[in-house]
Amino acid sequence: MSYQGKSIVVAGAARSGIAAAQFLLTQGARVILTDKKNRSELESDIAPLLDLAAHSGELVLELGGHRNETFAACAFVVVSPGMPLALPIFEISRKAGIPIIAEVELAYRHLKGKIIGITGSNGKTTTTTLVSDLLTGAGLRGFAAGNIGTPLISLAAGSSSEDIYAVELSSFQLEGIQKFKPFIASILNLTPDHMDRYSGFEDYIAAKQRVFMNQDRSDFAVLNADDARTAAMQTTIRARPLMFSRSKTMDSGTFVRNGRVIFRHEESENDLFDLNAISLKGTHNLENVLAACTMAILAGAPPESLEKSVRRFKGVEHRIEFVTELNGVQYFNDSKATNVDATVKSIEAFPGNILLIAGGRDKAGDFTVLKSLVHERVKHLIVIGEAAGKIRKALSDATDVSEAPSMQEAVSICRQLACPGDVVLLAPACASFDMFQNYEHRGRVFKEAVLKQ
């Protein structure tokens, strides 16, 4: 596919948009980068593009807003995940017959090697990272990319046929795929999320299911047998299903038996390792490990190679990440808990005596779901951000509640109230964009506040 001289719109100058623009410039394209932010806000992000465009392709910057005429006259549009495809600006392209694709779709068209597509409501980043670790631990060329932070398109130019890419996929990215076809695809779990963007839970599920839409019988689907919604998909997809379960024995897939992790497929069975090999907290992380092992073995990792990598894996930053212990109080950063269900899983990882910091930008979540668990395990709740009032209203009769104007003040309140044996847990149940650049920024600010005590 030649892009030489073609006008291609890249909508959104975030991480994936910048990476897509870089790739297209190297292919000699005329890239029109458009974003609502103005140039001064994006100067450091676009600097590499300006340098590249001096030698290859042509870069047109349309910042401070989108122009209708741009979307009506181009070869195709590459859309960033943060921009809903329902925006009127994209209707202009659709009416003109102009394709609108996600960055991962562009990457798929140029990437050598095989793709493992991993999506779900929670656990995507942990599972994606572990799959990559299991592959490299087995001596294979494994890479982690996608919504995890490394745009898939940034790996296309240097890819080889031996590569195996574990790709974290959000529902937003999956909305913009056309031919994207992973040879292994997984939906880890399904709970309501991003209800501020979807008309209902079923629309959100439909977006997730797109990960399977181009698969056939030569491909594999890895599904959670303990999640009724994902388990039911095994009868509707074309790929060959393998299941994972922490509570049931599977005919084909990965499960737990007598404290051991077992993989079974095509009438063969492998005893992988003892549950004690897993250092991650929470039953949800057991599910993530089971899923990751299933995918790694299907991708070619010898079953006997997995235990060493599982024992070595200590988790991912911002996912129930241990920060420190001060005066007998342990501090954990789960800033990636950006929806209610993720916060449920985070709280469930601890038996009690929790001081919980929650809040941020509401994603139309139902915070009352947390009530019984908060009453049982949370001794004090500190709310922050735009959703502070809504969370207080939902949970004030479940535990004592304080409100803090900043993360630093929230940590200070915890320091004053916590006793030896307590756990201070950041698990916001909300997006971060009211106070922070992203969930990583929120987690770093939390850790800095803790360590400055």
Return the closest-CA partner of residue 298 out of 234, 218, 216: 218
Percent of the chain whose predicted confidence (pLDDT) is above 70: 100
Q: How confident is the model at residue 324 (pLDDT cuts 50, 70, 90)?
A: very high
Q: What pTM does this model have?
A: 0.87
Return the closest-CA partner of residue 124 out of 169, 89, 185, 94: 169
The pLDDT mean for the chain works out to 96
Question: Which domains, from first to last, does the chain contain?
Answer: 7-98 (3.40.50.720), 105-312 (3.40.1190.10), 321-451 (3.90.190.20)
Report, as an integer, the average pLDDT of 169-178: 96
Check pLDDT > 80 for residue 445: yes
C-beta of residue 110 within 8 angstroms of C-beta of residue 24: no
HSE-CB at 47 with a 13 A cutoff on CA atoms is: 5
Q: How confident is the model at residue 192 (pLDDT cuts 50, 70, 90)?
A: confident
Non-local CB neighbours of 9 within 8 Å, separated by 6+ positions:
32, 34, 70, 71, 74, 76, 77, 78, 93
Q: How confident is the model at residue 267 (pLDDT cuts 50, 70, 90)?
A: confident
The model's pLDDT over 41-93, given as tens digits with 9 standing for 90+, comes to 999 999 999 999 999 999 999 999 999 999 999 999 999 998 999 999 999 99
Give the pLDDT of residue 82.
86
C-beta of residue 320 within 8 angstroms of C-beta of residue 280: yes
Give the pLDDT of residue 198.
85
Check pLDDT > 80 for residue 154: yes
Q: At what angle do helices 39-53 and 15-26 cross, to 10 degrees?
A: 20
Give the pLDDT of residue 282.
87
Query: Token pair for residue 114?
Result: 């095989």
In a 10 Å sphere around its CB, with 0-12 CB exposed, 13-18 middle and 19+ buried, how is residue 112 labelled?
middle
Report CA-CA distances (Å) from 143 to 124, 130, 165: 15, 10, 5
Report, as an integer, the average pLDDT of 218-242: 97
Task: Collapse the DSSP code of 247 into the 3-class scheme (helix H, G, I; strand E, B; otherwise coil) and give the result.
Answer: coil
